[in-house]
Amino acid sequence: MNFDYDLFVIGGGSGGVRAARVAAGETGAKVALAEEDRYGGTCVIRGCVPKKLMVFASEYATMVEDAQAYGWDIQPGGFNWGKFKVKLHAELDRLEAIYRNILKNNGVETFDARAKLVDAHTVELSDGTRKSAKHILIATGGHPVKPDIPGAELAITSNEIFHLDELPKTMLIVGGGYIASEFAGIMNGLGVKTTQFYRGAQILRGFDDEARGLVCEEMCQAGIDVHLGTNVLEMRKEGDQIWVKATNGDERLFDQVMFATGRAPNADDLGLEALGVERGRKGQIIVDDYSQTAVPSIYAIGDVTDRVNLTPVAIREGMAFVETVFKGNPTKPDHELIPTAIFTQPEMGTVGLSEEDAAEQEPIEVYATSFKPMQQSFAGRAQRVLMKLVVSKASRKVLGCHIVAPGAGEMIQLAGIAVKMGATKEDFDRTVAVHPTMSEELVTLKRPVRSA
């Protein structure tokens, strides 16, 4: 049978674009891609990239105070959201153009349209045209979801936060994951009086307890009003503000409310069910180790599969898909020991197992130190940092590394290489310290602080 394309990709985010580019550019496959919104996807357009730029913007307030402590005669001014926003969106436009050009330069045909599946080899675009392909790759990502409570429509999500006309004076952020916690730090740093509600006992569930405890403590010290064990019951408009009733009985008014209470896969209305593509409890597309669905010609990668929802993981899955299907080299994406950073303030970097998860598996030793870094303590700020290694008693392997510190993301990328290679505590000990740095503490931790 003759198909229009060897590969049709649905979704122009990081994973889909990478798979399309590599399949077309490196294997000569005839590839098309459809994207209903902006190229670059969540990460580039409404996620990691604009978020990190907002983190940078929000950190300058404390830098001015620190500079004064170091003898610089500079005075803090106000933050101009309008000026920043114009530059931010110009940068996102530039990046989107790069993504479009990458596809064009590799010979990928693009359709600015929504696509859905008609059968195992056919997609239909929103204008009614149909295209056939030998292989179809779904890389449609995910979207933020709001809880089902009265007044939920009054709140924004992480999608809308980059488009605010002006910064609110007061803001409530609901959620305890990394998106909620990152934006609490951002808005607080930009001068917004920020409150965070989380229904759980501690923010950043699933990460190392000691590390997330320190992050929360420092967030509170920085002026964020964190309420744990608290959720929103109902909301309503009151004048220009939003009235919020909390589960602890509190009633308060905020200029703006943002829900960061979870994300769901973009897998509805794609025509999957009729074709026998299986979906999981959260609506995710079920795939095997090679990203293949129950229908052999249809594959899926990235957040729509709800495996590890991180941009670099979607890209890896896309590369493994091309290796498997177009290069004849069956490749499973490796989801083990993925280093990751959370751009809270303070920042957190982590790879491997938390102390709690490691202790459930085998006997461990914990090496940790917490201190005030030189740069900040000289300036009279008391933000603490944490350097922590979780070590197997039997094999001496470093099972987990957790860093809470400025620049933790940069550090964990490099520590992640060692942990991925199976480094032991003694390998860390044999490495000479780079002095004076914060990260040298990782190679000078002599005695375990506890065993479990």
Q: If we measure between CA atoms, which residue out of 137, 51, 31 comes closest to residue 92?
A: 51
Q: What angle do CA 155, 220, 231 make, to 5 degrees?
A: 35
As a whole number of angstroms, the distance between CA 196 and CA 6 comes to: 48
Annotation marks residue 435 as catalytic? yes
Nearest to 390 by CA among 423, 421, 431: 423
Coil/strand/helix, residue 162: helix
CA distance 350 to 199: 24
Strand partners, 115: 125
The letter for the amino acid at 321 is F
Identify residue 22 by its one-letter amino acid code. Answer: V
Q: Which member of 89, 143, 227, 435 is catalytic? A: 435
> Are 119 and 37 spatial neighbours (Cβ–Cβ below 8 Å)?
no
What are the angstrom distances between the C-alpha of 288 and each of 181, 292, 320, 336?
A: 33, 5, 12, 16
Neighbours of 298 (CB within 10 A): 24
Amino acid identity of 207?
F
Burial label, 105 (beta-carbon count in 10 A; 0-12, 13-18, 19+): exposed
Burial label for 383, CB within 10 Å (0-12, 13-18, 19+), is buried
Closest CA to 183 of 402, 349, 345: 345
Long-range contacts of 248-253 (CB under 8 A, 24+ apart): 252/172, 252/195, 253/170
Structure-token pair, residue 403: 């860093």
Whether residue 261 contacts residue 178, with contact meaning beta carbons closer than 8 Å, is answered with no
Cα separation of 96 and 113, whole Å? Answer: 16
What are the residue numbers of the active site? 435
